[in-house]
Chains A and B, each alone.
Chain A
Amino acid sequence: MKKTWLAILTLAITAVLLVALNLLSSVIFRRARVDLTERKLYTLSDGTRAIIGRIDEPITMKFYFSRKIADKRGPGLSRYAQRVQDMLDEYKRWAGDKIKLSIIDPEPYSEEEEQAASEQMEAIPVGPGESIYFGLYVQNSTDDSARIPFLPRVKEEFLEYEITKMINTVTEAKKTVVGVVSSLNVDGSPGPDAMMNPKSNKNQPWGTMSVMKQLYDVRMLGTDIESIDKDVDVLLIIHPKKLSDKTLYAIDQFVLGGGRAMVFVDPFCTVDEPAPDPKNPWMARMADRSSDMEKIFKKWGIAYSPKKVVGDQTYPYSVPYRNAQGAVTGSGPFYPVFSLKSDPNSDPNADGDAFKFFNPKEVVTSDLKDMFVGYPGYLTKRDGVDVTFIPLMTSSQDSGLFDASDVKMMSPRMLGEKFKKTDDAYTLAAYITGNVSTAFPDGKPGSKKKDKKDKQDGKKKDDPASPKTKGEIHVIVATDVDMLTNNFALNKVMTMSGPQYTKRNNNIDFLLNGIEWLAGNSDLINLRARGKIERPFEKVQEIERVAREKYQEKVKELNDELKQTNEKLKKLQQNSGGESVALLRKEQRDEIQKLKDKILSIKKDLRKNQLEMNRDKERLGMWLKVVNIALIPLLFSLFAVGLGVFRWIRRKRA
């Protein structure tokens, strides 16, 4: 009996020790981890470590999380919050005394809650008298601060980037320097008609520029540039029209030297108004309102046409339709001007690269919800240039192209009729990076003679400022300038102190995100590479690609044939002049039937080819299933049976 009680006691003590040990270890051993993932997903990246290394005065980090309230509603948010806290702990572990970290669960009506409010933390109400805080606040010793008022779930992959960016913001001594090159009066300097029209809109600085000036050190560089200063962090080029080779060279060299650039071109910019010619008002309509940097774009691996405008059917702008007399007869969609809206139901963690409107995997666009563009062009990656081309913004798949000349000439109704949608989405903005060559292999334009002479004299170019021929570029190119204008980006409110501008959509956010991301030294840019780790079945993709190529020809042929046949049929039916079928002559009826039959058989062929294309992929899948599910068990069973037989024989012999 005694032994039993002793045993039970022993077991009880063991249980308590087990629980205690684990609870204790969960507190003590928070940092003892080894990250075995290939991309070190759970360790701070080198960029973050470098930026932490640059902290000289200790900074304060506060993590506000209403854990008690959140726990009541299920583990989802709390688990994510735990991951956030784990990551913050990693920062603290790495930074040591440089970062003072506080984890705060603000009680309602407490001092901590007031503090949270003063630091602009956002509280989401979740019940009567209860709200949840889930924000981050960073401050340096001189009261510069940065914050994320409420951490959005969708940004989990970019958490490290956001935290490091905040640290960077409060530790950076100076404001980002943005150099602006523009063929338009973005800064409101007097235009050609300043004398006659001093108060005209053309001579007011763009609202966008005012916003930028509050955040950055903005320098207007003009359009006739010799070279661009090295301390410019981001070069912002807005609507470059026929820039001189001299200026293009300066841009080329700046970017090759590692300078970041954000370029806005446009096939049709509404505010690019030619000087009015009273003798020929019609000319104004047909004037060229496009911008381009072809020489340089070619080298950056970008293909762009200033003659093509993208139209989109999904969220087009609505305009009044007029009849021939000019009276308004109703309203209708105007495809070249449209909105981009993020899909609230889309899953940013979904596989694959396809996205609609905003790229959810890039920091620059992942939190954009609503943008409004006007007569944008589009970009594609040029073959033959080895760059990484990452689309940031696209039109929807219900979009198509217009000729810029048509857009200038035709009425909205006519454009609507002419609109033909292709099933492609067009890239409206992209991030391009890679090692490229200069657009000026002969060096600085205008200095040719001197170089030749130097070569003849055998002089070596030891000059450290010698022209760069190759370099690693980081640029963002967008194909719409209108998005930055007051009409498209801002709402104007007249107040006592003059016009006030408020954001109308995320247009300005796109600009600011782009600038901040590009300006964030290379440490921050490289952080973006972390994101979601896509590991597709490359083998399967290869098979699909090969199959597609094999059948592409055939499918194209069939599709062409189908189109032709359809047209023939249509013509034939039209020629019958609307008479009822019964009155048609027999030959015509036979002809129509023959064509219809042909269409059916072509469609059947297409389907067959489609099936063929998938066949290889499916065959591989089937084969793998068999091997994995059945093979080893089969072999093993054979081995077992063999062993059994072997032993049976042995026994018989004995």
Chain B
Amino acid sequence: MHNIWTITRREFVGYFITPIAYVFIVIFLLMAGFFTFSIEGFYEAGQADLSALFKWLPWMFLFLIPAVAMRLWSEERRTGTIELLMTLPVTHTQAVLGKFLAAWAFIGIALMLTFPLWITVAYLGNPDNGVIFTGYVGSLLMAGAYLAIGSCLSATTKNQVIAFIITVVLCFALNLAGISRFTAFLQGYLPASILDAIRSFSFLTRFDSISKGVFDLRDFIFFLSLIGAFLYANAVIIDLKKAN
């Protein structure tokens, strides 16, 4: 336990030593603001909720989070520091968890920094704060899921760019699964129950549900089990690569 915390702390601080973190956060916030105000016309629409923001978050995460995730393991493998990491008295699992939690916390901070939007909307009208709260929680969970996938995939290759691309592709596919136009073309070939199951694996569908304002245990299980599964896979892959 203590080990995990140590790793987490070391990694987390490490983010803020380099300029990368700041650039990332600034870009994230600029994009969030831009999408919310200009593209989605938040002010003109006149609705006191943050649906404008939450509509775009899944797509922003799609590109930004793999960028964070790709360096989790690929870089270590490339530069060889992974050997160094493995000589420390920590298990692979602890290492994986530690890095993951640090990255997740980092994303959490970036997400939190959009708080001016919440203040703005509370100033302009009388928003349903319950819905906004669940929106943020949902965003955090979804970010964690993207991150877990990215972390796992980054362990499979030394090349950060490849890690980035395959993560984006997989996450993109998972998003698409929730968009009707895309599942429609599968309809002729697959029975309805399988189609339903596919749809239920879409990040978009799940995120939509949570950000409606309802905490459904099933959605929590979805995200947490996904994170768990991919982190476990992550550890397995690290093991494997180390053995070679």
A interface residues, Cβ below 8 angstroms from B: 3-4, 7, 10-11, 14-15, 17-19, 21-23, 25-26, 29-30, 32-39, 41-42, 67-68, 71-72, 74-76, 351, 533, 535-540, 621, 624-625, 627-633, 636-637, 640, 643-644
A652 to B61, CA, bound (A): 39
Give B contacts to A, CB under 8 Å.
16, 19, 22, 25-26, 29-30, 33-34, 36-38, 43-49, 113-114, 116-117, 120, 123-131, 133-134, 180, 183-184, 187, 192, 195, 197, 199-201, 212-218, 221-222, 225-226, 229, 232-233, 236-237, 239-240, 243
Given contacts A22-B200, A625-B33, 8 further A-B contacts (CB under 8 A): A34-B215, A37-B130, A76-B180, A621-B44, A624-B37, A628-B37, A632-B116, A633-B26
The reply to whether B217 and A39 contact each other, CB–CB distance below 8 Å, is no
Assess whether A536 is in contact with B229, with CB atoms less than 8 Å apart.
no
Nearest residue in A to B199 (C-beta to C-beta)? A75
Q: Report B-chain residues with C-beta under 8 Å of the C-beta of A37.
A: 128, 130-131, 212-214
Bound: A625/B33 CA distance, A: 8
Check if B126 sits within 8 Å of A35, measured CB to CB: no
Shortest A70–chain B CB gap in Å is 9
Contacts of B133 in A (CB 8 A): 36
B31 to chain A, nearest CB (A): 9
User: A625 to B22, Cβ gap below 8 A?
Assistant: no
Instruction: Classify the interface of chain A: helix, strand, loop or mixed.
Output: helix
Task: Name the distance in Å between A640's Cβ and chain B's nearest Cβ.
Answer: 4
A624 and B214 form a contact (CB under 8 A): no
Is the pair A633, B29 in contact by a Cβ cutoff of 8 Å? Answer: yes
- Return chain B residues, CB-CB under 8 Å to A536: 46-48, 125
- 24 interchain pairs, CB-CB under 8 A: A15-B229, A18-B226, A19-B197, A22-B225, A33-B217, A35-B213, A36-B134, A42-B213, A535-B47, A535-B48, A535-B125, A536-B46, A537-B47, A537-B48, A540-B46, A540-B124, A628-B117, A628-B120, A629-B34, A631-B116, A632-B113, A632-B116, A633-B25, A637-B26
Q: Is the CB of B218 within 8 A of A36?
A: no
- Chain B residues, Cβ within 8 Å of A533: 128
What B residues does A39 contact at CB under 8 A? 128
Asked whether A7 lies within 8 Å of B240 as measured between CB atoms, the reply is yes
- The residues of B that contact A23 with a CB separation of less than 8 Å are 197, 200
- Please give, as numbers and ranges, the residues of chain A lying within 8 Å of B213 by CB-CB distance: 35-37, 41-42
Contact between chains at A537 and B29 (CB < 8 Å) = no
Cα–Cα, bound, A36→B237 (Å): 39
Q: How far is the CB of A531 from chain B (nearest CB, A)?
A: 14
C-alpha gap A11/B130 in the complex (Å): 38
Chain B residues whose C-beta falls within 8 Å of the C-beta of A535 in the assembled complex: 47-49, 125-128
Residues of B within 8 A of A351 (CB): 45-47
Minimum distance in angstroms from A130 CB to a CB of chain B: 15
A37 to B215, CA, bound (A): 10
Chain B residues contacting A539 (CB-CB under 8 Å) are 123-125
Return chain B residues, CB-CB under 8 Å to A72. 187
Report Cα–Cα, A19/B236, bound state, in Å. 19
Interfacial chain B residues near A4, Cβ < 8 Å: 240
Q: Which residue of A lies closest to B115 (CB)?
A: A632
Chain B residue with the shortest CB-CB distance to A41: B213
**Contact (A537, B218) CB under 8 Å given A11-B236, A42-B212:** no
A3 B216 Cβ-Cβ under 8 A: no
A185 to B127, CA, bound (A): 52
Q: Is the CB of A628 within 8 A of B233?
A: no
- Whole-angstrom distance between the Cβ of B181 and the nearest chain A Cβ: 9
Collect the chain A residues with CB atoms within 8 Å of residue B48's CB: 535-538
Give the residues in chain A near B130, CB-CB below 8 Å.
36-38
Check if B216 sits within 8 Å of A33, measured CB to CB.
yes
Total CB contacts across the A-B interface at under 8 A: 168
Residues from chain A with a CB closer than 8 A to the CB of B134 are: 36
Name the contact of B29 in the complex, choosing from A10, A25, A636 (C-beta under 8 A): A636
Residues of A within 8 A of B212 (CB): 37, 41-42
Pair B221/A22 contact, Cβ less than 8 Å: yes
Contact assessment for A632 and B47 in the assembled complex, using a CB-CB cutoff below 8 Å = no
**CB-nearest residue of chain B relative to A26?**
B218
The CA-CA distance from A34 to B216 in the complex, in Å, is 6
What is the chain A residue whose CB lies nearest that of B187? A72
**Least CB distance, A21 to chain B, in whole angstroms:** 5
In the A-B complex, the 3 residue pairs with the smallest Cβ-Cβ separation, listed nearest first, are A629-B33, A37-B213, A32-B217
Return the chain B residue nearest A7 by Cβ: B240
Supposing A21-B225, A636-B22 touch, asked if A628 and B116 sit within 8 A by C-beta, the answer is yes
Cβ-defined contact, A17 with B229, below 8 A: yes
B26 nearest in chain A by CB position: A633
Do B200 and A537 touch (CB < 8 A)? no
**B202 smallest CB distance to A (angstroms):** 11
Distance from B35 Cβ to chain A, minimum over Cβ atoms (Å):
10
- B192 contacts A632, CB within 8 Å? no
In the complex, are the beta carbons of A36 and B214 less than 8 A apart?
yes
In the complex, what residues of B have CB within 8 A of residue A41's CB? 212-213
Q: Is the CB of A628 within 8 A of B123?
A: no
A32 touches B216 (CB 8 A): yes
Closest B residue to A30 using CB positions: B218
Q: Chain A residues near B226 (CB, 8 Å)?
A: 18
* Residues in A whose Cβ lies below 8 Å from that of B229: 14-15, 17-18
How many Å from the CB of A535 to the closest CB on chain B? 4
CB distance from A4 to the nearest CB of B (A): 6
What's the nearest-Cβ distance from chain B to residue A32, in Å?
4
* Chain A residue contacts of B126, Cβ below 8 A: 535, 538
Knowing A75-B199, A633-B29, A640-B19 touch, does A67 contact B214 (C-beta < 8 A)? no
CB distance from B175 to the nearest CB of A (A): 15
Nearest-Cβ distance from residue B233 to partner chain A, whole angstroms: 5
Closest to B122 in A: A539
Closest to B36 in A: A628
Query: Do residues A35 and B214 form an inter-chain contact, with CB atoms below 8 A?
Result: yes
With the chains together, A643 CA to B22 CA distance in Å? 11
B201, A22: Cβ atoms closer than 8 Å:
yes
Out of B37, B114, B221, which one reaches A21, CB within 8 Å?
B221
A445, B131: Cα distance in complex, Å? 54
Chain A residues lying within 8 Å of B44, measured Cβ to Cβ, are 621
CB distance from A89 to the nearest CB of B (A): 12
Report if A7-B25 is in contact (Cβ < 8 Å); known contacts: A535-B125, A537-B48. Answer: no
A71 to B26, CA, bound (A): 43
